[in-house]
Amino acid sequence: TRKYDQAKIREVVSHMIMVLELPFAFTEYELFTLLMKIASPHYIRISHATTKADCWISYEVEKNRLNGLLKTVDRTSITTNMWKSGQRIQYMVLIAHFVRTWIGI
């Protein structure tokens, strides 16, 4: 059997919230709580404030990881792409390509 890990649940739920663009209050929805309680009776409901804080922490971790990676880069090429969603929301995507110099090559 697996050991219940509330911290891992919070991490995965915050990732799901960001990827699926769900509201932070999603974790407080009655049906979501019911689903999680059925999946594990040990589940502790996550507040929208905690979910928001977890998303912010994930953002900061990824930002720091990316900044560290970019410090090892010699050149960066940046392009943009604009598109509309089915809901007529406009997005601008920033794409960065980079090349590292490998020592010993």
Q: Which position has the higher pLDDT, 11 or 74?
A: 11
Q: Quick one: pLDDT band at residue 104, thresholds 50, 70, 90?
A: low
Amino acid at 71: K
Task: Report the pLDDT value the prediction gives residue 36, as an integer from 0 to 100.
Answer: 95
Asked if residues 89 and 104 have their Cβ atoms less than 8 Å apart, the reply is: no
Whole-number Å distance between alpha carbons of 34 and 36: 5
Q: Is the pTM of this model over 0.85?
A: no
Tell how far CA 40 is from the center of its chain: 23
pLDDT tens across 13-29, in order? 999 999 999 999 999 99
The DSSP output letter for 21 is T
pLDDT at residue 55 greater than cutoff 80 = yes
Domain ranges of the chain: 6-99
Measure the CA angle with vertex 27, ends 30 and 19; round to 5°: 135
Task: Report the pLDDT value the prediction gives residue 80, as an integer from 0 to 100.
Answer: 95
Q: Quick one: pLDDT band at residue 96, thresholds 50, 70, 90?
A: confident
Q: Which position has the higher pLDDT, 70 or 56?
A: 56
pLDDT at residue 105 greater than cutoff 70 = no
